[in-house]
Amino acid sequence: MIRKMTLEDLPKIMILEKELFSSPWSEENYRFEILENPYAHYVVEEEQGIRGYLGLWLNEDALQITTLGVASNHQGNGLGQSLVKYSLEYALENKVEVMTLEVRISNTKAIHLYEKNGFIKAAVRKQYYSHPDEDAILMMKTFEQM
Ligand SMILES: CC(C)(COP(=O)(O)OP(=O)(O)OC[C@H]1O[C@@H](n2cnc3c(N)ncnc32)[C@H](O)[C@@H]1OP(=O)(O)O)[C@@H](O)C(=O)NCCC(=O)NCCS
C-alpha cells in the first residue's frame, strides 16, 4: 500500500536514509518537506512496515522526483517500479508536462528503472554530488497534455 508520509514515519525513514544514501537527508529536512514545503508530496510503501519511499515536488506543470528508496532487503521485488508508477500517475492527475530527476552517474540500477519508465538522459551536472564527489545525470520525461 502506498500512502502519504507522516512525522511518525521519520524514525524509520532515517534508518533507511542512512542505509541507502551516502549523503542522507536529516530528519529536519524531512520535517520541512512534510510540514512546510507547499510543493512537496512524500509517500511511503508499507506492508508490515515501511519498505520504500518517494519524494516529489510539484511546481506548476513540472514534477521533480526528489528521492526514491527501497529497503535493501526488499530490493529487486518491483517496489521501486511501483513507486515510479505512482509518480507517473501523480504526474497525469496533475496535468504535468515534464518530470525530472537527478541521479548519480554510477547508479545504473536506478538509471535502468527510470529508462524503463520512459525517462531519457538529458544532461550531465558536473560534480553535483559529494561523499563521494560525482556527476549527476539529469533525467527527463515529457508528457503531451490535451
Ligand atoms: C533504485 C531502487 C529504488 C530500485 O528499487 P527496486 O525495488 O530494487 O527496483 P525494482 O525491483 O522495482 O526493479 C525495477 C528496475 O530496476 C532496475 N534494476 C533492478 N535491479 C537491478 C540491478 N541489479 N541491475 C540493474 N538494474 C536493476 C531494472 O530496470 C528493474 O526492472 P526489471 O526487473 O524489469 O529489469 C533501489 O535499488 C534503491 O533504493 N537504491 C538505493 C537508493 C537509490 O539509489 N535511489 C535512487 C536515487 S535517484
The per-residue pLDDT for 145 is 67
Strands 62-70 and 98-104 come out as parallel
Q: Enumerate the domain spans of the chain.
A: 2-142
Contact 71, 77 (CB under 8 A): no
To test the pocket of ligand 1, the residue of 113, 129, 139, 141 to mutate (highest count of ligand atoms within 8 Å of its CB) is: 113
Q: What is the pLDDT of residues 69-107, one digit of tens each?
A: 999 999 999 999 999 999 999 999 999 999 999 999 999
97 CA to centre of ligand 1 in angstroms:
25
Q: How far apart are CA 91 and CA 125, in angstroms?
A: 24
* Regions of the chain short of the pLDDT cut 50: none
Which residue shows C-alpha cell 508508477? 85
pTM of the model: 0.95
110 CA to centre of ligand 1 in angstroms:
5
- 22 Cβ closer than 6 Å to some ligand 1 atom: no
Q: At what angle do helices 27-35 and 10-20 cross, to 10 degrees?
A: 130
Which CATH number describes the domain made up of 2-142?
Answer: 3.40.630.30
The per-residue pLDDT for 144 is 82
146 CA to centre of ligand 1 in angstroms:
32
